[in-house]
Amino acid sequence: MARCIRVPKKGAEPLREALMEQGLLDLDHRIRRDGDFILIPVLADSFGGYEAEEADLEVQEHGETDYRNLSGVPEGLRDLLPSSFDVVGDIAIMKLPDELLPYKAGIGEALLKTEHGVRAVFLDGGVKGEFRIRDLEKIAGEGTSETVHRECGTRMMTDPSKVYFNPRLATERARVASLVRDGEVIIDMFAGVAPFGTVIARHAHPAKIYSIDLNPECERFMRENIRMNGITCMEAIIGDSTQVIKGLPKADRIIMNLPQMADRFLDSALRAAKPSGTIHMHRVMERSALEDFERDLVSRMASEGLGMRIVRVQELKTYSPTMSVYVFDIMPEAADSSE
Ligand SMILES: C[S@@+](CC[C@H](N)C(=O)[O-])C[C@H]1O[C@@H](n2cnc3c(N)ncnc32)[C@H](O)[C@@H]1O
């Protein structure tokens, strides 16, 4: 038995954080869900207006911090266990090779034991289709894959099984937000649940952000993220950005985070940008093809009467042994300032 407070699910996370900050969270026991309530183990008689009660909570093991040592996978296969995985909010998402699939339940349970704050573990079957949705199978823990992710002082509701979300873009989102000047009009052409817009709205002072996505499931998440973060300058739009963009004001900044094929839409973006505007285009490609890609891009746009120059290229992350994701910061040709 352990001492805990019984709080409604909705207000549980801020309370858990407050307890943690004040050193009153009992780290020796695990948080448990009970219907619409969450039982949070505490080191106090009451907290936040909730009286503590006794409940049967699992003991939190602290000894082992590497899930691989608790996974129950035979010695001969241990080297196949991944050393990294994504944590989105309170869920973990991991890829496993076929040889480890018979052990997936034990691997998931091991991760729950070593990763503090992880409620459920999902097996990643890869992203599919134009909406880039993840095929997820729960292998341990409780609840669905809907979760609230924290990034750069913001909270973002997402569900990687319904909408695309990549926690590994946090640094890039912070970089783009740091470039935004007061009063900018910004268009995010492939917004997902609008993490770029959310981080920008929180850390800069744009006049307007238009976050567009084709996936109808994104609308609910975008609206919730606008609400949760108290954003007033962002509009969530569902539709094909190449069409939607034609009806929007010219933009100071356009974000094109569609790494498999963003360049196919660059003409639309160049037409929608102010002459002094900047486009951030993300693209995955063979590292050896980078120079050819840049040359080809400029000549393809020129053939459509669209001048442009690439003012900065940065490798964001490795995608495969030979491929990487790059960001190209692009300005219309007439522009003369650079960032
Ligand atoms: C890589 S995800 C973007 C994720 C998001 N920027 C983030 O940081 O999490 C690409 C998104 O583009 C959307 N998409 C694909 N084609 C589109 C189009 N023609 N117009 C608008 N959105 C589109 C997909 O539904 C998907 O959510």
Q: What is the pLDDT of residues 193-248, one digit of tens each?
A: 999 999 999 999 999 999 999 999 999 999 999 999 999 999 999 999 999 999 99
Q: What's the pLDDT band for 16 if we cut at 50, 70, 90?
A: confident
Question: Distance between alpha carbon 42 and the CA centroid of its chain, in Å?
Answer: 30
- Ligand 1: which atom is nearest the Cα of residue 265? 19
Mean of pLDDT values over 13-35: 84
**Which residue puts its alpha carbon closest to atom 17 of ligand 1?**
214
Q: Using the structure block, give the residue that is written with the tokens 């000549």.
A: 299
Confidence of residue 334 (pLDDT cuts 50, 70, 90): low
CA gap 161, 136 in Å, rounded: 6
Average pLDDT over residues 317-330: 96
Give just the sign of the alpha carbon dihedral 306, 254, 275, 295: negative
**Ligand 1 centroid from CA 191, angstroms:** 5
Q: Quote helix, strand, coil % in the chain, to nearest 5.
A: 30, 35, 35
Cα–Cα distance measured from residue 272 to residue 142, given in angstroms and rounded to the nearest whole number: 45
Span 138-161, mean pLDDT?
96
Mean pLDDT over 243-257 rounds to: 98
Q: Report the pLDDT averaged over residues 98-102.
A: 95
- Kindly tell me if the per-residue pLDDT of 182 is higher than 60: yes
Which residue among 149, 158, 258 has the greatest number of ligand 1 atoms within 8 angstroms of its CB, and so is best to mutate? 258
User: What is the predicted pLDDT for the residue at 149?
Assistant: 96
- Percentage with pLDDT > 70 across the chain: 97
- The mean pLDDT value of the chain amounts to 93
Check residue 42 and report its DSSP letter. B
C-alpha to C-alpha distance for 45 and 210, rounded to whole angstroms: 48
Number of H helices, E strands in the chain: 8, 19
The Å distance, Cα 13 to ligand 1 centre, comes to 29
Model confidence at 128, pLDDT cuts 50, 70, 90, reads confident
- Residue 130 in this model has a pLDDT that exceeds 90: no
Name 67's Cβ contacts closer than 8 Å, sequence gap at least 6.
Answer: 81, 107, 110, 111, 113, 114, 115
Q: Which CATH class is domain 2-55?
A: alpha beta
| 4-18, 96-110, 178-192, 263-277: least confident range | 4-18
Task: Give the pLDDT score at 335.
Answer: 41
For the cut 60, the answer to whether the pLDDT of residue 260 exceeds it is yes
Residue 255 CA, closest ligand 1 atom number: 6
**Considering the entire predicted model, what is its pTM?**
0.81
The CA 103 to ligand 1 mean position distance, Å, reads 34
DSSP label at residue 151: E
pLDDT > 50? residue 60: yes
**Atom of ligand 1 at shortest distance to CA of 163?**
27
Q: Is 148 exposed, middle or buried (0-12, 13-18, 19+ CB in 10 A)?
A: middle
Among 154, 171, 214, name the best residue to mutate to test ligand 1's pocket (greatest count of ligand atoms within 8 A of Cβ): 214
DSSP helix/strand/coil, 144 = coil
CA–centroid distance, residue 259 to ligand 1 (Å): 9
Can you tell me the distance from the alpha carbon of 56 to that of 17, in angstroms, rounded to the nearest whole number? 22
Q: Look up residue 277 and give its two tokens.
A: 């505007």
Q: Which residues line ligand 1 (CB under 6 A)?
A: 130-132, 164-166, 169, 190-192, 195-196, 212-215, 240-242, 257-258
**Residue range 163-175: mean pLDDT, rounded:** 94
Distance 250 CA to ligand 1 centre (A): 20
Confidence (pLDDT) at 62 = 66
CB neighbour list of residue 298: distance below 8 Å, 6 or more residues apart:
308, 309, 310
Helix (H/G/I), strand (E/B), else coil: 40: strand
Q: Whose CA is nearest to atom 25 of ligand 1?
A: 131
Give φ, ψ of 52 to 5 degrees.
-75, 150
- Percent of the chain past pLDDT 90, that is, above it, reads 83
CATH domain 67-145 topology: GMP Synthetase; Chain A, domain 3 (3.30.300)
User: What pLDDT score does 246 carry?
Assistant: 97
- Rounded to whole angstroms, the Cα distance separating 290 from 277 reads 23
Question: Smallest Cα–Cα separation from 125: which of 114, 117, 134, 138?
Answer: 134
Residue 157 has pLDDT above 60, yes or no: yes
Q: Locate tokens 């639309």: which residue?
A: 268
199 CA to centre of ligand 1 in angstroms: 17
> Domain 163-332's class?
alpha beta
The closest residue, in CA terms, to atom 6 on ligand 1 is 191
Structure-token pair, residue 328 = 């190209």
Which two three-digit tokens encode residue 60?
Answer: 């939190």
Contact of 4 with 41, CB cutoff 8 Å: yes
Reported in sequence order, the residue ranges of the chain that DSSP labels E, i.e. its strands, are 2-8, 32-34, 37-41, 46-47, 50-51, 53-55, 86-88, 91-94, 120-128, 133-141, 147-151, 154-158, 185-188, 208-213, 234-238, 251-257, 273-286, 308-318, 323-332
Q: Write the single-letter amino acid at 158.
A: T
Higher pLDDT, 21 or 203: 203
Nearest to 218 by CA among 241, 198, 238, 197: 238
Do the domains at 2-55 and 163-332 have one common CATH topology? no
Cβ–Cβ under 8 Å, residues 90 and 42: no
The residue ranges of every structural domain in the chain are 2-55, 67-145, 163-332
